[in-house]
């Protein structure tokens, strides 16, 4: 059985506890992953702490050059990474390639680190006095990441942290851990010194050890809301900087003046792509007025046509969900939704895939007539289930969106600039799409939701990522020339 070990100070390091890694398309165990103990975490943090002093003193230009080399390796090995993602996550190859490309864009952003770290300088703020500012790395940073984007979500974090001069310990999801070791190999090939990027595999034991470790300065977390809340509370109680991104229920509001065919195509892709396992997946449609019937008809036609199959097969558009428990959870929600009074417009729960009797496949489900009290609406299902709620006006749609505890992403489909503008100003959501279903900001903006979708103050990557991984210093400087007089005890003011 293949074993996936930790990467600490450039060395593969074995474990004492192990967990199976499944292939969701076959249901077979394909590897075992080490589950770190607190001692393993301590070894990784110590390696990162040891590497920090030299790395923070490495010039910005050299750090940027290393990012350029790492970026080229990500491009060269795109297919290898995509295949590994597909085998452990289940998503189809093109989708996996997409996440590698979107992650690479953060590395491209980090290549500009000398520009991003430029401080300010003010000449002669008082007579003979200058003022300037610059930013310094914070130290050892930890990243704790979910299963659904095993390459892209860690890439939201470590390139920015490392380019800023920090060292990093990544604790990826134990469900699809292999790619993180390949990323460590790429960093080594790009010339990153040992200990700057480390990988500890594991579960909550590893997470809590990172949160408690006195030498971890900052923690970036992405995952479900209950764990995000825990990570934020425990990490900040230990005096660390924490940004903890949680779950989501993303709405698509469709107005009657929208291009309904286009809206249906976009929403279908956003609801069922990656089998609905995206934090920015559209999982709830809010159909306004006369948009509802024609939209549902189109959504149903698209959902019925989706080709479900193994991620590695060329014809597949949607792969399996990640675990047998996820599949059972999806089946349970669909059944409860129907019992609660929703209409199962598309019901492909019994989808089977030839040659893959034990894969975790579940086909698209579309529920209409859903109300805000049903658990198919209140819960993040994280599977290929799309629910439709009907309202009479844009204002009612905005109220519905804003009453939801999550605030990650939202989309509006409309032909009216005035409605779109009113919508973007009124919603309490961090990322908004206008006729765009998955409004993931580009790498040079920052990614983050509001409310129960983010605990902490800073979003990831982009300018907020640079702020999160650095601390500012403001210097006031004076080089006296004349003879010293009496000490002046008044509070200093500019002169």
Catalytic residues: 279
Binding mask 377-406 for ligand NAD (x = CB under 6 A): ---x-x------------------------
User: How many Å apart are CA 351 and CA 349, to the nearest integer?
Assistant: 6
Looking at the Cβ atoms of 292 and 411, the one nearer to ligand NAD is 411
CB of 240 closer than 8 Å to CB of 208: no
Looking at the Cβ atoms of 194 and 379, the one nearer to ligand NAD is 379
Looking at the Cβ atoms of 321 and 334, the one nearer to ligand NAD is 321
| Site for ligand NAD contains 416 (CB under 6 A) | no
The H helix count followed by the E strand count for the chain is 16, 23
Q: Is 493 exposed, middle or buried (0-12, 13-18, 19+ CB in 10 A)?
A: exposed
User: Which residues 430-459 are close enough to bind ligand NAD by CB under 6 A?
Assistant: 449, 453
Q: Which stretch binds ligand NAD (CB under 6 A): 177-185, 216-224, 252-260, 466-474?
A: 216-224
Residue nearest to ligand NAD (CB): 223
Task: State the minimum distance, in angstroms, from the CB of residue 224 to ligand NAD.
Answer: 3
User: How many Å apart are CA 349 and CA 154, to the nearest integer?
Assistant: 32
| Site for ligand NAD contains 137 (CB under 6 A) | no
Number of residues forming the site for ligand NAD (CB under 6 A): 28
User: Which residues 256-315 are close enough to bind ligand NAD by CB under 6 A?
Assistant: 279
User: How many Å apart are CA 415 and CA 413, to the nearest integer?
Assistant: 7
Using the rule CB under 6 A, which residue among 161, 248, 295, 397 binds ligand NAD? 248
Looking at the Cβ atoms of 55 and 447, the one nearer to ligand NAD is 447
What tokens were used for 95?
């989708």
The distance from CA 220 to its chain's CA centroid, rounded to whole angstroms, is 10
Secondary structure letter of residue 58 according to DSSP: S
For residue 477, the cross-strand partners are 130
User: How many Å apart are CA 148 and CA 82, to the nearest integer?
Assistant: 13
Task: State the minimum distance, in angstroms, from the CB of residue 203 to ligand NAD.
Answer: 5
Q: Which stretch binds ligand NAD (CB under 6 A): 62-70, 140-148, 413-421, 482-490?
A: 140-148
Q: Which stretch binds ligand NAD (CB under 6 A): 26-34, 81-89, 116-124, 169-177?
A: 169-177
Q: What are phi and psi of 76, to 5 degrees?
A: -60, -40
Looking at the Cβ atoms of 247 and 456, the one nearer to ligand NAD is 247
Looking at the Cβ atoms of 165 and 449, the one nearer to ligand NAD is 449
44 closest CA partner among 192, 147, 189, 196 = 196
Task: State the minimum distance, in angstroms, from the CB of residue 148 to ligand NAD.
Answer: 5
Q: Which stretch binds ligand NAD (CB under 6 A): 220-228, 313-321, 395-403, 472-480?
A: 220-228
User: How many Å apart are CA 123 and CA 451, to the nearest integer?
Assistant: 42
Q: What are the C-alpha distances in Å from 218 to residues 238, 334, 428, 467?
A: 10, 40, 27, 12
User: How many Å apart are CA 309 and CA 363, to the nearest integer?
Assistant: 9
Secondary structure letter of residue 151 according to DSSP: T
| Site for ligand NAD contains 408 (CB under 6 A) | yes
CB of 102 closer than 8 Å to CB of 69: no
| Site for ligand NAD contains 23 (CB under 6 A) | no
Q: Rounded to 10 degrees, what is the CA torsion of 79, 84, 89, 92? A: 30
3-state helix, strand, coil in the chain (%, to 5): 40, 25, 35
Looking at the Cβ atoms of 103 and 369, the one nearer to ligand NAD is 103
What tokens were used for 34?
């080490």
| Site for ligand NAD contains 154 (CB under 6 A) | no
| Site for ligand NAD contains 204 (CB under 6 A) | yes
Task: State the minimum distance, in angstroms, from the CB of residue 91 to ligand NAD.
Answer: 13
| Site for ligand NAD contains 139 (CB under 6 A) | no
Can you give the binding site for ligand NAD, defined by CB under 6 A? 144-149, 153, 171, 173-174, 203-204, 207, 222-224, 227, 230, 245-248, 279, 380, 382, 408, 449, 453
């Amino acid at each position: 059985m293949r074993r996936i070990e930790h990467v600490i100070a450039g060395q593969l390091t074995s474990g004492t506890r192990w967990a199976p890694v499944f292939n969701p398309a076959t249901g077979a165990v394909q590897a075992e992953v080490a589950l770190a103990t607190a001692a393993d975490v301590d070894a990784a943090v110590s390696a990162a702490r040891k590497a920090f002093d030299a790395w923070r003193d490495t010039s910005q230009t050299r750090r940027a050059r290393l990012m350029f080399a790492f970026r080229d390796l990500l491009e060269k090995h795109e297919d290898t990474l995509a295949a590994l993602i597909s085998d452990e996550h289940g998503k189809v190859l093109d989708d996996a390639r997409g996440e590698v490309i979107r992650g690479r864009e953060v590395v491209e952003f980090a290549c500009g680190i000398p520009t991003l770290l430029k401080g300010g300088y003010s000449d002669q703020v008082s007579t003979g006095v200058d003022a300037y500012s610059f930013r310094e790395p914070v130290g050892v940073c930890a990243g704790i990441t979910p299963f659904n984007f095993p390459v892209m979500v860690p890439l939201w974090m470590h390139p920015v942290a490392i380019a800023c001069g920090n060292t990093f310990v990544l604790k990826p999801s134990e469900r699809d851990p292999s790619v993180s070791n390949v990323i460590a190999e790429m960093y080594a090939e790009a010339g990153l010194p040992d200990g700057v990027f480390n990988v500890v595999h594991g579960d909550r034991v590893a997470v809590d050890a990172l949160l408690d470790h006195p030498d971890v300065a900052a923690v970036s977390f992405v995952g479900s809301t209950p764990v995000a809340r825990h990570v934020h509370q425990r990490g900040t109680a230990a005096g660390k900087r924490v940004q903890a991104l949680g779950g989501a229920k993303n709405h698509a509001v469709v107005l009657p003046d929208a291009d309904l065919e286009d809206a249906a195509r976009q929403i279908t892709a956003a609801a069922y792509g990656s089998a609905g396992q995206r934090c920015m997946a559209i999982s709830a449609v809010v159909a306004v007025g006369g948009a509802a019937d024609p939209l549902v008809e189109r959504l149903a036609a698209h959902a019925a046509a989706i080709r479900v199959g193994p991620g590695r097969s060329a014809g597949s558009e949607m792969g399996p969900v990640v675990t047998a428990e996820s599949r059972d959870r999806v089946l349970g929600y669909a059944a409860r939704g129907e019992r609660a009074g929703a209409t199962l417009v598309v019901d492909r729960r019994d989808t089977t895939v030839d040659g893959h009797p034990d894969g975790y496949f579940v086909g698209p489900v579309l529920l209409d007539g859903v109300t805000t009290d049903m658990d198919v609406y209140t819960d993040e299902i994280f599977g290929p289930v799309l629910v439709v709620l009907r309202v009479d006006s844009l204002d009612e749609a905005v109220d519905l969106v804003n009453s939801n505890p999550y605030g990650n992403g939202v989309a509006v489909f409309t032909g009216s600039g005035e409605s779109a503008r009113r919508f973007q100003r009124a919603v309490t959501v961090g990322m908004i799409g206008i006729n765009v279903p998955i409004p993931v900001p580009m790498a040079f903006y920052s990614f983050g939701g509001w409310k129960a979708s983010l605990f902490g103050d800073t979003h990831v990557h982009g300018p907020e990522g640079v702020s999160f991984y650095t601390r500012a210093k403001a210097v006031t400087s004076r080089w006296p020339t004349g003879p010293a007089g009496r000490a002046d005890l008044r509070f200093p003011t500019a002169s």
